[in-house]
Amino acid sequence: MRPLTRLEIVEQLPGEFLQPIVVLPWWRALLTALDDPQRRMMLLLLIRQSGKTQAMLHLAVSELLTTPSAQVLFVAAAEHQAVAVYERKLRRPLSVLLAWLGMPAAVHFTRRGCVAPDLGAGLEIVAPNEATGTGRTPTLLVIDEARDVADEVFTALVPSVVGAGGKVLIGSSAGPPKGFFYQLIQEAERGAAPEIWLHRGGTANENPHADQKMLGFLRGTVGRLFPSAMRRELENEFAEAGDELIPAAVIERGIDDALGELPSHGGAAWAFYDLSRRRDLTSRTVVVAVAPRRPEAADHLLVASIRVWDPTRAPTGEVPFEEVRDDLASLPRRFPHLARVLVDVGAESSSLLPWAKTQPRLALRVEPFSATPATNMDLWGALLARLYAGTLSLPRHERLLLELRNLRREEFAFGSKWRVVDSSRKFHRDVSLTLAGAVFAAASQPRDPGPQAAVILPAGAQRGSIDDWRARYFSGR
């Protein structure tokens, strides 16, 4: 009987329930990368139930049965996982394949793996605490669920693989944005290491054996309760665990699908600008006051207008600040009771603030906002107060909602202060910052109540309620 090729082994080795395997396109690309002498490391970043462990184990078996003197070390994330991979994905399926091929004695099983005596090859499955033992020089190192494997294990094993002229295969779903797996993904995506081959799957699950009902449950139920976990497990994003600034349910409760860009409004209005010329978005948000929608509330705020300028879409690669100035000039016309406009002080504020002071309708309304730990806590605290109180309506603005869902509260100065960061490290706080700034402007200044907002309480009473709520909320965190 002629020897099987690597692809034939992968195709014919059954799954853990002895089901036939469907070789997906990325499996074939992975096999090609393994045989490419220019590739030293292969990375798989895939969502849950996408078949990555099955694919890596099949590739490991193909190495065992086709490569003389191969020494394959398969590192599972924990001891119980190592046992499960050995019993369910290796021993039983491989025994069935060998029996079907009529060569049951070609492989001898050991307590941790198996050996192919005729090839002088071996495969061992271990837990991370066992992986760094002496005497191992793998020609193929496989690390499963790498996000749960310590950096020390990786750094201890990789030199021995390199010394043997071997290769490394690492697979995982996304975890927190830290550790060796996260850093390797960043290197590969930047193209800084051409020796690394990367397959980063999307949010769709291509595995025909995946439990679609369970995935639907995770997205629909668990995702609302634990949005960071959903981003990691099902959306393939690196995100910190927990500590969301605003729970997803609170954000969803604030969305008004009927709300869109308002051309004008007669209520009291407040705005905030966040400026950037090249690196980030320039954005602006306006909120307006309307009659209260809750019996205990003094008023209600609507997000009336959002404007975003993306420098990457401009012909010059820079935000056209003449458009930003024109936008600011239009606000008093669109919102006759515009009370206050805050502009975040930064490198680009000189493009807007001095000009605004020369405009009669803006000179007394436009003010600089200086970001300090204290003012930032006040700014984000004002937004939190509104959302938790149910007195702020949001449009279904994709960028705004993505940013809000990724905000995380991070303490510093020994817990005496906190700041707001992006947990996925994918979105800069642009539109969400201007929303928080506009709400803060409304909470911290006496108002000119417009005709649609005559029931608003004096600023002192409203400001005190938000300050009191914020003090109670953060003292308990």
Encode pLDDT of 158-181 as tens digits. 988 877 789 999 999 988 888 999
For the segment 210-227, the average pLDDT, to the nearest whole number, is 57
| Cβ–Cβ under 8 Å, residues 173 and 148 | no
Instruction: Name the CATH superfamily housing domain 6-204.
Output: P-loop containing nucleotide triphosphate hydrolases (3.40.50.300)
For the segment 447-451, the average pLDDT, to the nearest whole number, is 48
226 has a pLDDT exceeding 50: yes
Please state, in angstroms and as integers, the Cα–Cα distance from residue 142 to each residue in 81, 368, 463, following that order: 14, 55, 58
287 has a pLDDT exceeding 60: yes
Between 49 and 250, the more confident residue is 250
pLDDT of residue 240: 65
460 has a pLDDT exceeding 60: no
475 has a pLDDT exceeding 60: no
Residues 6+ apart with CB under 8 A from 228: 239, 240, 241, 242, 243, 244, 423
How much is the pTM?
0.55
Residues of the chain with CATH 3.30.420.240: 256-475
Residues of the chain with CATH 3.40.50.300: 6-204
Between 127 and 226, the more confident residue is 127
* Percentage, residues of the chain above pLDDT 70: 82
**What is the amino acid identity at position 152?**
E
What is 256-475's CATH number? 3.30.420.240
If pLDDT is split at 50, 70 and 90, which confidence band does 435 have?
Answer: very high
204 has a pLDDT exceeding 70: no
Please state, in angstroms and as integers, the Cα–Cα distance from residue 462 to each residue in 192, 378, 386, 459, following that order: 53, 14, 11, 5
What are 105-123's pLDDT values in tens digits? 999 999 999 999 999 999 9
224 has a pLDDT exceeding 60: no
